[in-house]
């Protein structure tokens, strides 16, 4: 099965030993081991060592691992890439999430990165929104775009408000770019770790937009996020109904049918099949990660 669930993608500070250990028990689909914003300049070298040792040592089960390296315009970038590539050779992390460099340039790959290492690119500036397709299509190794909504809000001089009206244009552009290139795209983080109602509403908004999942900053956000980004039982049942009704109609030579009063054509059947694929992949992955 080719679909990989990426409903919940948890950042953790690379210098935080406790978080790196705790992540082994959390039901997140993927983990981003951060060497960028959450690691203070004085702790960069230590964070890099910890993250690469953790990746090499393993114990993360099926969770997809990605290392977020410092931007190309920083003194840490080259060492981060080299260390991440070495950790990849030892255990093969699934990706390297590139920092500021990737969000400004439609360039993928990097010194020291083995050819098979997948790359996730942060998109978090106005120019990255405007060039999202160029970034997403830059390399086959680039598989995932990740929204950086904190940086985007900062660069836009926008405020964080419920409903995210100031960011909707950027979110849409990034989604268009990712989908036009056939790539996965993850929504940005929700900063108020105590406000689970607001968080869940933002997950729903992200899913309605078409995001594949959401990036998270706290373990308490994983459960609600997994639920919102998985097809519900009702959606799965409806998808089965759509496929069955369309197949019956097709056998009678018809290309269009109604289900619960709504028109169903080929494209709706494609979407129904996608929902069943997502559901099957999530079930196969299981919660006991």
Q: Which residues of this protein are in contact with Mg ion, per CB under 5 A?
A: 124, 148, 151
Stretch binding ligand LIB3CWND (CB under 6 A), from 102-110, 144-152, 176-184, 270-278: 144-152
235 interacts with ligand LIB3CWND by CB under 6 A: no
* 80 near ligand LIB3CWND, judged by CB under 6 A: no
Residue 149 binding result from ligand LIB3CWND, Mg ion, none, given CB thresholds of 5 to 8 Å by partner type:
ligand LIB3CWND
Q: How far apart are CA 271 and CA 21, in angstroms?
A: 38
State which of residues 93, 177, 219, 231 lies at the interface with ligand LIB3CWND (CB under 6 A).
219
Among 8, 66, 70, 149, binds ligand LIB3CWND (CB under 6 A): 149
| Distance separating alpha carbons of residues 109 and 116, to the nearest angstrom | 10
Count of chain residues binding ligand LIB3CWND (CB under 6 A): 22
Structure tokens at 282: 């999530």
State which residue, 11 or 211, has the beta carbon closest to ligand LIB3CWND: 11
Of 79, 116, 75, 123, residue with least CA distance to 97: 123
Quote the CA–CA distance of 61 and 192 in Å, as a whole number: 28
Assess 218 for contact with ligand LIB3CWND (CB under 6 A).
Answer: yes
DSSP SS3 for 35: coil
**271/63 Cα distance (integer angstroms):** 26
Q: Are 98 and 32 spatial neighbours (Cβ–Cβ below 8 Å)?
A: no
Question: DSSP code of 22?
Answer: H
- Nearer to ligand LIB3CWND by Cβ, of 37 and 79: the residue is 37
Report the distance separating Cα 50 and Cα 66, nearest Å. 14
Nearer to ligand LIB3CWND among residue 142 and residue 217 (C-beta): 217
User: Which of 14, 177 has the CB closer to ligand LIB3CWND?
Assistant: 14
* Burial (0-12, 13-18, 19+ Cβ within 10 Å), 234: exposed
Q: Please identify, using beta-carbon distances, which residue of 54 and 278 lies nearer to ligand LIB3CWND.
A: 54
Burial class (CB in 10 A: 0-12, 13-18, 19+), 235: middle
The reply on whether position 15 binds ligand LIB3CWND by CB under 6 A is no
The CB density around residue 173, as the number of other CB atoms within 10 Å, is: 18
Residues 17-46 that bind ligand LIB3CWND (CB under 6 A): 18-19, 22-23, 34, 37-38
- Return the structure tokens found at 44: 């960069």
- Residue 13 vs 206, nearer CB to ligand LIB3CWND: 13
Q: Does 193 bind ligand LIB3CWND (CB under 6 A)?
A: yes
Residue from 8, 11, 129, 142 touching ligand LIB3CWND (CB under 6 A): that is 11
Distance (Å, rounded) from C-alpha 119 to C-alpha 108? 7
**Helix/strand number for the chain, H first, E second:** 12, 10
Residues that bind ligand LIB3CWND (CB under 6 A): 10-13, 18-19, 22-23, 34, 37-38, 124, 148-151, 188-189, 193, 217-219
């Amino acid at each position: 099965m080719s679909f990989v669930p990426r409903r919940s993608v948890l950042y953790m500070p690379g210098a935080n030993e406790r978080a790196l250990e705790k992540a082994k028990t959390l039901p997140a689909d993927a983990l981003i081991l951060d060497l960028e914003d959450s690691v203070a300049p004085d702790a960069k070298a230590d964070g890099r060592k910890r993250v690469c040792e953790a990746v090499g040592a393993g114990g993360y089960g099926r969770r997809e691992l990605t290392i977020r390296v410092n931007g190309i315009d920083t003194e840490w970038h080259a060492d981060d890439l080299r260390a991440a590539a070495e950790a990849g050779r030892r255990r093969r992390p699934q990706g390297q999430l590139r920092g500021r460099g990737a969000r400004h340039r439609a360039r993928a790959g990097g010194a020291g990165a083995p050819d098979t290492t997948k790359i996730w690119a942060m998109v978090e500036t106005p120019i990255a929104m405007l060039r999202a397709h160029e970034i997403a299509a830059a390399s086959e190794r680039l598989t995932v775009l990740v929204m950086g909504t904190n940086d985007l809000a900062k660069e836009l001089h926008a405020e964080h408000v419920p409903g995210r009206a100031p960011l909707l244009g950027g979110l849409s552009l990034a989604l268009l770019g990712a989908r036009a290139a056939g790539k996965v795209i993850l929504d940005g983080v929700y900063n108020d770790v105590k406000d689970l109602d607001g968080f869940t509403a933002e997950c729903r908004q992200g899913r309605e937009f078409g995001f594949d999942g959401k990036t998270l900053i706290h373990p308490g956000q994983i459960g609600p996020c997994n639920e919102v980004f998985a097809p519900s039982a009702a959606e799965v049942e409806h998808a089965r109904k759509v496929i069955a009704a369309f197949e019956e109609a097709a056998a009678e030579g018809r290309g269009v049918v109604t289900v619960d009063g709504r028109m169903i054509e080929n494209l709706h059947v494609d979407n129904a099949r996608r929902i069943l694929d997502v559901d099957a992949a999530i079930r196969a992955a299981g919660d006991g990660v």
